[in-house]
Amino acid sequence: MNVNQKSFPMKNPIIVALDVDTRDRAIELADGLTDIVGGFKVGPRLCLRYGEDLIREVAARGPVFVDNKHFDIPSTMIASVRASFDAGASLVTVHALSGREALFKMALLEKELNQIRPFRILAVTVLTSWDQSSLPSVMTAQPISQHVVDLARLVQSSGLQGIVCSPHELDLLQNMNLYLVTPGIRFSMDDLGDQKRVMGPEQAIRRGANALVVGRPIIDAKNPVETATEYVMALYEKK
Ligand code: C5P
């Protein structure tokens, strides 16, 4: 399939989460930020409204991370990931909890699709919106940090390298040779929104993140272009 796609790997690690409800606003943001940021993230909020066409449109403006966090039987996950790839995705997410068989099949699929163009399947370990008290009872026997490490090992032994994690989990996952993508990125003066455990962009990169997802601080800014530029520049400023 012929996809007009801005290529992956990204020119810098900042991925802007296009967490908006209309195609027009998403494309307006992507047009403004295409020369500045490394890529764009879209999730069910846009995918359910505009589907494949929207992924294609954004992919023409930068590498697209389709964050639909698949958690299903392996055959459905394979078909869903293929659909995102065919639309132009460079990154997609699945849940690490979907288990060894599904992850192993994801690793085979990633290998196959990489013959066509660079593509990564990222596994989400424990959602950052969960804390110890919100863990389901079957998971309370050990702390979240141990679940994250165990799930990361499962992901890696299944043949995938990509993980989505909180910036506060970066230290736990160092030296595992993983590709680490982290949301929860804020400058100290930014509004936290519903994110609880945040970190500055340069600090997250120093701790081993390979890509950073930034949403509201950029898309809700008075001047998203200026704010996105500040996020990118922060990574290259000498301290
Ligand atoms: O606006 P903000 O910078 O908090 O956006 C973070 C983005 O990352 C949102 O799209 C959110 O859905 C996503 N995300 C997250 N935590 C995860 C996985 C994804 O915040 N564990």
Give yes or no: 69 in active site: yes
Distance, CA of 218 to chain centre: 16
Q: Which amino acid is at 31?
A: D
Find the helix packing angle between 74-87 and 100-114, rounded to 10°.
30
How distant, in Å, are the alpha carbons of 8, 59, 80, 182 from that of 208?
19, 26, 29, 10
For the chain, the C-alpha Rg in angstroms (whole number) is 17
Average pLDDT, the chain: 93
Instruction: Name the residue at shortest CA distance from atom 13 of ligand 1.
Output: 183
Does 2 score more than 60 pLDDT?
no
> Token pair of 117, please?
């163009």
Verify whether ligand 1 is closer than 6 Å to residue 215 (CB atom): yes
Q: Express each pLDDT in 57-69 by its tens digit.
A: 999 999 999 999 9
Q: How far is the CA of 8 from the centre of ligand 1 (A)?
A: 21
Q: Express each pLDDT in 227-236 by its tens digit.
A: 999 999 999 9
Does 177 score more than 90 pLDDT?
yes
Does 212 score more than 70 pLDDT?
yes
Verify whether ligand 1 is closer than 6 Å to residue 213 (CB atom): yes
Pick the CATH number of 3-233 from 3.40.50.2000, 3.40.50.360, 3.20.20.70, 2.60.120.10: 3.20.20.70
Q: How far is the CA of 170 from the centre of ligand 1 (A)?
A: 16
Verify whether ligand 1 is closer than 6 Å to residue 183 (CB atom): yes
pTM higher than 0.85: yes
If 0-12 CB within 10 Å is exposed, 13-18 middle and 19+ buried, where does residue 79 land? exposed
Best probe residue, ligand 1, of 71, 122, 213 (max atoms within 8 Å of C-beta) = 213
If 0-12 CB within 10 Å is exposed, 13-18 middle and 19+ buried, where does residue 177 land? exposed
Query: Any alpha helices (H) in 96-237, and if so which ranges?
Result: 100-114, 144-158, 201-206, 216-219, 224-236
The atom number, within ligand 1, closest to the CA of 165 reads 21
- The answer to whether residues 121 and 81 touch, using CB atoms and an 8 Å cutoff, is yes
From 109, 133, 132, 128, select the one nearest 119 (Cα to Cα): 109
